[in-house]
Amino acid sequence: MNHIREKEPIFTLSAGPVAAYPRVLRALSSPIQYDYDAYFQAFYESVARKCSTALRTKEPALILHYEPAAAIEAAATSLIGPDDVVLNLASGVYGKGFGYWSARYNKELVEIEVPYNEAIDPQQVEDAFRRRPDIRIVSLVHHDTPSGTINPAREIGATVRKHGALLLVDAVSSFGGMDIHPGDCNADIFITGPGKCLGGAPGVTIVAVSDRAWEHMAANPKAPRASVLSYLDWRDAWSKEKPFPFTPSVAEVNGLDAVLDQYLEEGAENVWQRHALTAKACRAGMQAMGVKLWAKTEEIASPTTTAVRVPESLSDSAILSAAKDLYGVAFSAGRGDTLGKLIRIGHMGPVAEPFYAVIAVSAFGGALRCLGQKIDLTAGVEATMAVIDAAKKK
């Protein structure tokens, strides 16, 4: 890659895709098997079952052979029929985006949108059902990554179930980094992938689908068939007895297997704990330096991504370039409506390790200082260390 003039980051603290665990990199380079060989079919079934162990569901998970964004679009086209009124919950760019997909297929779109530094209030969902008892499907992004904020999925899920509607949850950047599973939030379609908190490659998607959602798709006259986007076509692919409708991404399945081993062997609770601690240390350091959090309250700040405001007099790109050029640290910019307003520090997978918060805070502070901002870098680093040391003493 010598012909590329941009320097490779030394520390990738992005909001995804993220650096993968070494064992995942090794698995990605294992032999490519013939998908119809009995060996691969049995292996595939074992991976689908391992997904369900991680998701804490009974049925083997659906594995889709494209990135999560495509799997969410596929969910919209498979699930939403011409008679469906859809309630879309938007607290950020991904939430808003789902509404555009939904509008292609639904009868009517009802939307609740909050400022992108706030979370959806479950009471708003309750009120929406009161006004529109005909809502059939609700869509929620648990962690809207370009905002770095978390929505109360459990409470919203309970409300949706009470009213008998189906709930689609995008948990792409939260599952594996915090305590959230399809059963916790009554999700009928729960979408996640290995490329964010699980520390794998971003090319496949893991989905948990409820019986009610399968029934709804089977009854949807517009649900695509003989299409890679068809959930129904992929439904039975987990079984070693059943054919694949299209060629699965063999290398990515090898990587997925390793990602799940990493997660399950380390223990979910331990993984969530280090994500939460890294984020807490990062928030403490940023605030001690005088940098403002993007999230309106710290309670809704994500444990897998810290979003901070870009100081008024600076541009996001100047800060990102300085952090990269001076220290080799890569952060993420905002996206869509949050682009230019915030910078995101990812705490996902292998870099959800508390000491990376020191790297993040010192690189961010150093970049601001180099751009002429008066910030107290020492206070930032001390506050970060204080959070880490307090947790380690326990």
Ligand X SMILES: *Cc1c(COP(=O)(O)O)cnc(C)c1O
Q: Which of 25, 69, 112, 314 binds ligand X (CB under 6 A)?
A: 69
Rounded to whole angstroms, what are the CA distances from 295 to 134, 145, 216, 270, 300?
A: 33, 12, 36, 25, 7
> How many Cα atoms within 13 Å fall on the side-chain side of residue 272?
12
Q: Is residue 55 a contact partner of residue 190, using CB atoms and an 8 Å limit?
A: yes
Task: Please state, in angstroms and rounded to a whole number, the distance separating the CA atoms of residues 237 and 244.
Answer: 5
**Least distance (Å) between residue 240 CB and ligand X:** 28
Three-state DSSP class for 79? helix
Helix (H) or strand (E) holding 165, with range, is none
Q: Does 256 bind ligand X (CB under 6 A)?
A: no
**Least distance (Å) between residue 151 CB and ligand X:** 11
Binding mask 81-120 for ligand X (x = CB under 6 A): -------------x--------------------------
Beta-carbon contacts of 326 under 8 Å, excluding residues fewer than 6 positions away, are 363, 366, 367, 370
Task: Please state, in angstroms and rounded to a whole number, the distance separating the CA atoms of residues 261 and 267.
Answer: 10
Binding mask 113-152 for ligand X (x = CB under 6 A): ----------------------------x-xxx-------
Helix (H) or strand (E) holding 371, with range, is none
Nearer to ligand X, 69 or 158 (CB): 69
- Sign, CA dihedral 193-197-200-203, equals positive
**Least distance (Å) between residue 329 CB and ligand X:** 20
**Least distance (Å) between residue 53 CB and ligand X:** 23
What is the 3-class SS of 320-334, one letter each residue?
HHHHHHHHCEECEEC
Binding residues for ligand X, total number by CB under 6 A: 15
**Least distance (Å) between residue 175 CB and ligand X:** 10
Q: Does 202 bind ligand X (CB under 6 A)?
A: yes
**Least distance (Å) between residue 172 CB and ligand X:** 4
With CB under 6 A as the contact rule, which of the stretches 26-34, 170-178, 211-219, 346-354 interacts with ligand X? 170-178
Beta-carbon contacts of 173 under 8 Å, excluding residues fewer than 6 positions away, are 15, 16, 143, 145, 196, 197, 302, 304, 305, 348
Nearer to ligand X, 140 or 383 (CB): 140
Q: Does 68 bind ligand X (CB under 6 A)?
A: yes
Nearer to ligand X, 196 or 347 (CB): 196
Q: Is residue 236 a contact partner of residue 18, using CB atoms and an 8 Å limit?
A: no
Nearer to ligand X, 195 or 199 (CB): 195
DSSP state of 178: B
Nearer to ligand X, 14 or 220 (CB): 14
Q: Does 14 bind ligand X (CB under 6 A)?
A: no
Three-state DSSP class for 313? coil
Q: Does 16 bind ligand X (CB under 6 A)?
A: yes
Nearer to ligand X, 16 or 122 (CB): 16
Q: Which of 67, 233, 252, 316 binds ligand X (CB under 6 A)?
A: 67
Dihedral of CA atoms 205, 211, 213, 217 in degrees, nearest 10, equals: 100
**Least distance (Å) between residue 131 CB and ligand X:** 27
Q: Does 170 bind ligand X (CB under 6 A)?
A: yes
Residues of the shown chain interacting with ligand X in the complex, contacts defined by CB under 6 A: 16, 67-69, 94, 141, 143-145, 170, 172-173, 195-196, 202
